[in-house]
Structure 1
């Protein structure tokens, strides 16, 4: 009896603290992954700017020291990394430990918030726990969560977007959504949009759905006005800085021309295999990937003038080849949800278990997209909020070349929609099997 009692107490303890246990396990497994891989440090444009902030106090040198002041992306996690480097030294052990803790913490926070989101929609606790366990324990994005997002904004964007969604769902559930609550949501959405515009589409989509569902038409104008004022307030400091520094209106980022040109040019439609084609284009025009491209950028007058020139060329090609552009856009959309194997080897060669990882991602995409479509029928119309976060972030990446880092924005939405749907299907199958008459 005593043994049965202790077993029952242990089971009750595990059930009561299951969320905390899964998050701790998620933390430990990511720490072990980081220890095995030497913890490394973030690289690329965001890391370069973080170093510039620490070294010179400037948001600059996106492509290399000397490339000048930048508006390549909006400042968010880069500022955090720059501040940490200022305090602890550039890429010192202490600095990287702090940044790794922040990156992992934000990643796990997004998983926890999505657990709360699906519970808010109506998913059973045990189903939500299965989804959280999959998010915490499957090693699908550890390289991003432990290393890259120390300087890049992916984990911060995912966590802030999940928070916006949770706020929207709670306002949707309220007897009468208050202006105070809506203003809080508008501020959170504006900050999230500033951090990452792709996930920003999803949070504003959720806000729009909230207005349609819970606000009478007579209150829409006031609500839209509040949302617009919050967005203007968030964008203004960065816009003013860019106007002063570059003498032009740049409310968000200046790199669209470069990204557009990487994906849309005569080179994109050659018979060369896509991996080789993209790498060749990357090394031809991207200033971070080749010295020749860097020197071309400097001769053009810097990163903004260079991106503008590339964008002009890309837009001219698009205007002259609308059919090919449409085909490429559909191809990019497919790659966003179903990435080809070569994407695991864009910047480094020799990625391990690519076939298995690709199979997991594709399976997750199939179930996640099905979940986005079917969960509103299972749990009611409030699950439409989930579908927005699965579908909307893909839209900006249709016209550029998607890579694995970009699609992290849909990782938690896809994981939770996929798992909740799969668990519901299995539960229905078991229920029907039990209901069948014996014999």
Structure 2
């Protein structure tokens, strides 16, 4: 397994490892800030509601025996208010370190910091591939990755907010890396066929995780997939092969969603592929008190 995943962390064109020191420095800075600034001491407002908001509430319900339910105050029953991946992560932490405890908060922020710091590796490769043709790839990639690793605005969601932003950004950035690899952007001349089944399958898997975390990003998926397929139009055979691999990615994507869709159908007797809060959110958006930033 490691031998198959290793190429995802290598420097394009040379085969050398991506600069992992950027990841470790970025992670260390985030963990130090969480610890020194005591961001894990979350306010008790509305019975710890700021600890994960709806995701935290669902995680508490999971740990205390109410199932995937109760996203707000009180016991309101089963829900599809948000997809399950991040609430399940919080629930696992609650199970190990206690519900709404400071240690649980520190662990959530630490895991978010891992995702946030690891995004720097994707930023590095995206920048390298996009600027390598101009001979500036490595220089721009290093600047970009270090900025992501150390810029305060880039790390704030990992160290202040118990929400899915860091996980979502991590997953999304690596889908862009795979798209660039499939299109051979930044690849050395004479590279073998980049449209491999493994890349397409991993692409579908990452998008499946995104759909179970923050499905709003799915608006990018069709355009990204078409752009990847567009690079295989050199011949009829290559187009057919790429299309078959795209179908394979779609199957992987569907398999990721299948357990959640099945659960929703069993509970609500309706087809709910990701989440079911559109009506409530749309209504809230029309209220006068929700105008502007709030």
After TM superposition, the score normalised by the length of structure 1 is: 0.53
Q: Quick check: 1:53–1:83 contact (8 Å CA) kept in 2?
A: no
Q: Quick check: 1:111–1:136 contact (8 Å CA) kept in 2?
A: yes
Q: Does 1:175 align with 2:192?
A: yes
Q: Quick check: 1:113–1:166 contact (8 Å CA) kept in 2?
A: yes
Q: Does 1:74 align with 2:89?
A: no
| Greater Cα offset, 54-63 or 166-175 | 166-175
- Secondary structure in structure 1 of the residue aligned to 2:124: helix
Higher Rg: 1
Aligned length: 255
Query: Which digits, 9 at most, give the CA deviation of each residue in 1:183-228, with x for residues without a partner?
Result: 2322222222332222233344322211011254434653443233
Name the counterpart of 2:276. Answer: 254
Name the counterpart of 1:140. Answer: 153
Give, in angstroms, the shift of residue 93 of structure 1.
3.4
Q: Quick check: 2:128–2:140 contact (8 Å CA) kept in 1?
A: no
- Secondary structure in structure 1 of the residue aligned to 2:276: coil
Unaligned runs of 5+ in 1: 1-15, 269-276, 280-341, 347-439
Superposed CA RMSD in Å reads: 2.6
Q: Quick check: 2:81–2:277 contact (8 Å CA) kept in 1?
A: yes
Q: Quick check: 2:129–2:137 contact (8 Å CA) kept in 1?
A: no
Unaligned runs of 5+ in 2: 1-15, 43-50, 185-190
Name the counterpart of 1:193. Answer: 211
**In 2 relative to 1, CA 206–57 (structure 1 residues): closer, same or farther, beyond 3 Å?**
same
Give, in angstroms, the shift of residue 147 of structure 1.
3.4
Name the counterpart of 1:411. Answer: none
Q: Quick check: 2:58–2:69 contact (8 Å CA) kept in 1?
A: yes
Q: Does 1:211 align with 2:229?
A: yes
Give, in angstroms, the shift of residue 66 of structure 1.
0.7
**In 2 relative to 1, CA 203–234 (structure 1 residues): closer, same or farther, beyond 3 Å?**
same
**In 2 relative to 1, CA 63–228 (structure 1 residues): closer, same or farther, beyond 3 Å?**
same
After TM superposition, the score normalised by the length of structure 2 is: 0.77
1:8-47 to structure 2, matched below 5 A, reads 19-34=19-34, 35-41=36-42, 42-47=51-56
Q: Quick check: 1:168–1:210 contact (8 Å CA) kept in 2?
A: yes
Query: Which digits, 9 at most, give the CA deviation of each residue in 1:383-438, with x for residues without a partner?
Result: xxxxxxxxxxxxxxxxxxxxxxxxxxxxxxxxxxxxxxxxxxxxxxxxxxxxxxxx
Q: Quick check: 1:262–1:278 contact (8 Å CA) kept in 2?
A: yes
Structure 1 stretches of 4+ with a deviation exceeding 6 A read: none
Measure the CA separation in 2 of the matches of 1:206 and 1:82.
32
Q: Quick check: 2:232–2:242 contact (8 Å CA) kept in 1?
A: no
Q: Quick check: 2:128–2:138 contact (8 Å CA) kept in 1?
A: yes
